[in-house]
Structure 1
Amino acid sequence: MSNSTRVINLSAGPCALPESVLHEACQGLLNFNGTGVGIAEISHRAPEFIAYLTEVQGLIRTQLDVPQTHSILFAQGGGALQFSVVVLNLLARHRLLYPELSDSERVLDYVLTGRFSELAFDEAKRMGGGRVNTVVDARLHSATGKFDNIPSHAAYNFSPDPALVFYCENETVNGVQFSDGVDAADPTSFPFHLLPKDTPLVADYSSSFMSRPIPHLADHAVIFASAQKNIGPAGVTVLIVRNDCLPDVDAAAALGAQPVPYTLAYKTLADHGCLYNTPPVFAIYVTGLVLRRQRTLGGPAHFAAVNRRKAAKLYAAVEEGARRGVLRPRVKEGRGRSVMNVVFDFYEREVEGRFVAGAAARGIKGIMGHPTVPGTRLSIYNAVTEEQVDAVVAYMWDFFGQLQVRSLM
């Protein structure tokens, strides 16, 4: 396969994957690690696969500096399933800790900064078992009434003793992201300093996992990330779960908690080494190949620097389009712009259509916005190279120039 047959894939997910990884995965489909059996047909209990799964866990632990207080698990169902699963498990934990409380006295705190945190919030309300509280809603801190900002720390209103606090680190639909700073003075950082003591903090890192170090990782109860944005194909979700958040869900059910399916219990995954039932073997395999490559390149710190440069180039082009009156960025500078998803809106739909068609003619694909929020979205996950971003920026400048010439005709 030559590079000429590959396009610049800026899709928001599934993600672009490194071409070297794809070639290696093809070989693994025929013969995994010299076993003579393809990865898609090998037993998940084969010692070779168990060793590989352990290696992948280690690649995550070492690159993100995950402490031994946390387990690294692999689950099925994608990030959206974790909207339900995290509620079930942490409400079971809360029931074990506070059996005397009624459901109305159990509070789940949600930080709303975009579509996916809103979906998680809605799912928590559906699940029942506790009262769902809005810590902050970014739409109330926007001139447009939309998810286009990270609110200032003063806007947050955490409950005193919640069963969990949920936030989505990067919102792909809206192009909003918390900064990776740990300084409380950074207005777009997550306000870790405001959290009540011993709060079970839950973070959806699906669209930025391994793109940069995770601030205050050890302070999280659960971090989950579906693989198909930065580190692999769809089908596997990585979980980093603090060991005291692996509750005995049957014991909690005996005290009145909602029963949790055994395959959805974090304790089941941990107790059985993620092998209680057949895991997504191929997705884990490709994820491991990506993580091996990332390690050789320098890990999250390396990608953090590259991704910042990529985003800066694209936002500079977007700002030029704004100066020319062609488009408007979805998120203003200094309000929490995503490093992963650069989102903007053309003032005219006809111009947007021409932009997308022109990009496709140059081999730049996957740039349409989310179906629920029309617009243009350039997703620059780890596998998108800086050279590819340069090509996209060059196209944007050419397109702006063509618009100017057309307007003068």
Structure 2
Amino acid sequence: MSDSTRVINLSAGPCSLPELVLQEASRGLLNFNGTGIGIAEISHRSPEFVAYINDVASMIRIELDVPPTHHILFAQGGGALQFSTVVLNLLARHRLLHPDLLDSERVMDYVLTGWFSDMALNEANRMGGGRTNVVVDARLYSSCGKFDNIPSHEAYRFSPDPALIFYCENETVDGVQFSDSTDTTSFPFHLLPQGKGPLPLVADYSSSFMSRPIPHLADHAVIFASAQKNIGPAGLTVLIVRHDCLVDSDAAAKLGAASIPYTLMYKTLADNGSLFNTPSVFAIYVTGLVIRRLRDLGGVVYIDAVNKRKAERLYAVIRDGEAKGVLRARVAEGKGRSLMNVVFDFYDSEVQERFVSNGEACGIKGIRGHPLVKGTRLSIYNAVTEDQVNTVVAYMRDFLAQHSASCVR
């Protein structure tokens, strides 16, 4: 197998995985770590797999500098399942801390910057057990009423003692991401409520996990990330959960909290080393291979620098396209542009379709925008190489040269 037989996969997920990892994984399907048993066949309780899953957790802890106050857990399902699970677990925690409060007095804070954080809010409203507060809605700070920006810090209004505070670090549909600097497009950690004990801060890192260091990681109660963007196949979610969120949900239920299924309790996962029931064995295996390769290349600091170079090359072409009146970036400069999902629109819908179809003919796949918002989306997760991005840039420049004359506005 070689690059010549594979296309450039810019899908938003499931997405590209490193070719060397795929080759090693194919061997593991036949013989996992010299056991003579394939990874899809081996018992999840075998000494070999138990050692492997512990090693994966250790690599994540080292790469992201996860403190000993937090567990690293592996859950089945995707990130959307955590929209429900964090509500159940964090409301149980809050019930134990404040048993006399009415449900109407339990507040869940949501920061809305895109489609997925809005989906999480809707799930919290659907589940009940507390009321929700929209800390900020980015659509109110958009000239067209869309999720196309990270609002400035002065727009945020956190509750004084919420049961949870939810944000999505990178929005794949909309191409919006919090900055890792201290500018106004960063997450406003300094505005979070203080003096009420450990913060109930929850972050969805599904589409940017292991792409760069996580700011203020120790201040988070829960960080979750579905694997299929940057680190592995679909079906696995990595959790980083602080100790005080591993609550006795049965005790909380006696006080009026909702009962939590055993497999959705963070405490169950922690008490059983993520092996209470059969986990996503193959997905964990591939995730371990991906993280080991990342570590050997130089870790998240190395890949962060690579990702920034990749994004800048694409945004430079987009600036040229904007200057020629052919296209426009969905997110303006300085408004929270994603390093993972570069989203833009051609003014002419026929040109838009031609860009996608011609790209696919050239072996550049998965660039059509999300069905909800249309347009073009180039997802440049960790496994997309700089050489592949250079190929995409060359294609874009050639396409713009051919179409700018007829599309000038």
The 5 Å alignment of 1:44-63 reads 44-63=44-63
Contact in 2 for aligned 1:178/1:188 (Cα 8 Å): yes
Deviation, 1:2, is 2.3
- Match of residue 350 from structure 2: 350
CA offsets, 1:298-321, max 9 Å, x none? Answer: 111001100000000000001111
Contact in 1 for aligned 2:326/2:404 (Cα 8 Å): no
- Match of residue 75 from structure 2: 75
- Match of residue 188 from structure 1: 185
2: CA distance, partners of 1:61 / 1:407 = 50
Contact in 1 for aligned 2:166/2:202 (Cα 8 Å): yes
Alignment of 1:329 onto 2:315 = no
2: CA distance, partners of 1:264 / 1:331 = 36
Task: Look up the SS of the partner of 2:258 in the other structure.
Answer: coil
- Match of residue 127 from structure 1: 127
CA offsets, 1:358-409, max 9 Å, x none? Answer: 111111000011111111000000000011000000000000111146679x
Q: What is the TM-score of this pair, normalised by structure 2?
A: 0.98
- Match of residue 289 from structure 2: 289
Q: Residue type of the partner of 1:338? A: S
Task: Look up the SS of the partner of 2:270 in the other structure.
Answer: helix
2: CA distance, partners of 1:304 / 1:375 = 26
Task: Look up the SS of the partner of 1:30 in the other structure.
Answer: coil
Q: Residue type of the partner of 1:189? A: S
Task: Look up the SS of the partner of 1:229 in the other structure.
Answer: coil
Consecutive unaligned residues of structure 1, counting only runs of 5 or more, are none
1: CA distance, partners of 2:228 / 2:146 = 26
Q: Residue type of the partner of 1:291? A: I
Q: Residue type of the partner of 2:96? A: L
CA offsets, 1:47-88, max 9 Å, x none? Answer: 000000000000100000000000000001100000000000
- Match of residue 177 from structure 1: 177
Aligned sequence identity (%): 74
Q: Residue type of the partner of 2:46? A: A
The 5 Å alignment of 1:108-127 reads 108-127=108-127
Query: Structure 1's 406 and 334: CA in aligned 2 closer, same or farther, altered over 3 A?
Result: closer
2: CA distance, partners of 1:178 / 1:2 = 36
Contact in 2 for aligned 1:163/1:199 (Cα 8 Å): no
CA offsets, 1:264-301, max 9 Å, x none? Answer: 00000000111110000000000000000000011110
2: CA distance, partners of 1:178 / 1:406 = 36
- Match of residue 305 from structure 1: 305
CA offsets, 1:206-230, max 9 Å, x none? Answer: 0000000000000000000000000
Contact in 2 for aligned 1:109/1:162 (Cα 8 Å): yes
Deviation, 1:115, is 0.1
Task: Look up the SS of the partner of 1:381 in the other structure.
Answer: coil
2: CA distance, partners of 1:202 / 1:38 = 36
1: CA distance, partners of 2:199 / 2:240 = 16
How many residues are aligned here? 405
Deviation, 1:356, is 0.6
1: CA distance, partners of 2:335 / 2:119 = 22
Contact in 1 for aligned 2:10/2:366 (Cα 8 Å): yes
Query: Structure 1's 404 and 140: CA in aligned 2 closer, same or farther, altered over 3 A?
Result: closer
Query: Structure 1's 406 and 157: CA in aligned 2 closer, same or farther, altered over 3 A?
Result: closer
Deviation, 1:199, is 2.4
2: CA distance, partners of 1:75 / 1:407 = 49
**C-alpha RMSD of the superposition:** 0.9
Contact in 2 for aligned 1:201/1:220 (Cα 8 Å): yes
Task: Look up the SS of the partner of 1:337 in the other structure.
Answer: coil
Q: Residue type of the partner of 2:15? A: C
Contact in 2 for aligned 1:250/1:259 (Cα 8 Å): yes
- Match of residue 276 from structure 2: 276
| Over 4 Å off, 4+ runs | 405-408
CA offsets, 1:125-155, max 9 Å, x none? Answer: 0010001000000000111110000000000
- Match of residue 144 from structure 1: 144
Deviation, 1:4, is 1.1
CA offsets, 1:25-44, max 9 Å, x none? Answer: 00000000000000000000
Task: Look up the SS of the partner of 2:29 in the other structure.
Answer: helix
Contact in 2 for aligned 1:75/1:238 (Cα 8 Å): yes
2: CA distance, partners of 1:44 / 1:246 = 23
Contact in 2 for aligned 1:225/1:238 (Cα 8 Å): yes
Contact in 2 for aligned 1:167/1:202 (Cα 8 Å): yes
- Match of residue 363 from structure 1: 363
CA offsets, 1:66-120, max 9 Å, x none? Answer: 0000000000110000000000000000001100001000000000000000000
Task: Look up the SS of the partner of 2:132 in the other structure.
Answer: strand
Task: Look up the SS of the partner of 1:40 in the other structure.
Answer: coil
Deviation, 1:348, is 1.3
Deviation, 1:259, is 0.5
CA offsets, 1:236-260, max 9 Å, x none? Answer: 0000000111111111001110110
- Match of residue 204 from structure 1: 204
